[in-house]
Amino acid sequence: MAEENGEIILVFASNTIILEVEELLEEKELPFVLIPVPKEVNPNCGLAVSFLEEDKDPILRELDRANLWPQSSYLRKGDDFRDYPVSRI
């Protein structure tokens, strides 16, 4: 049985950065969605950036280039959330 594809969730310090990320990733036509920050990982009431694990490389590369780096990052598989440290390129 193939392993379930995970979803990466990035939490940023401020709403302003989230919107800068949104603008950048839309401009680069990279696949992502903005979601409410999952309460399982962070009590903030704002938004997080979410995308499939398989799409992470180009997205993280663009974020690194633009110096828009998350405060924390997680991998979600179903109901399971775990820390997913991402490193700058």
Strand order in the sheet with 80-83: 33-36, 47-52, 7-11, 72-77, 80-83
Structure tokens at 23: 């603008």
Kindly tell me which residue out of 4, 5, 19, 26 binds other proteins, with binding defined by CB under 8 A: 19
| 58 versus 64: smaller Cβ distance to other proteins | 64
Kindly tell me which residue out of 1, 2, 16, 27 binds other proteins, with binding defined by CB under 8 A: 16
3-state secondary structure of 54: helix
Q: Which stretch binds other proteins (CB under 8 A): 2-10, 18-26, 54-62, 73-81?
A: 18-26
Q: Is 24 in the site for other proteins (CB under 8 A)?
A: no
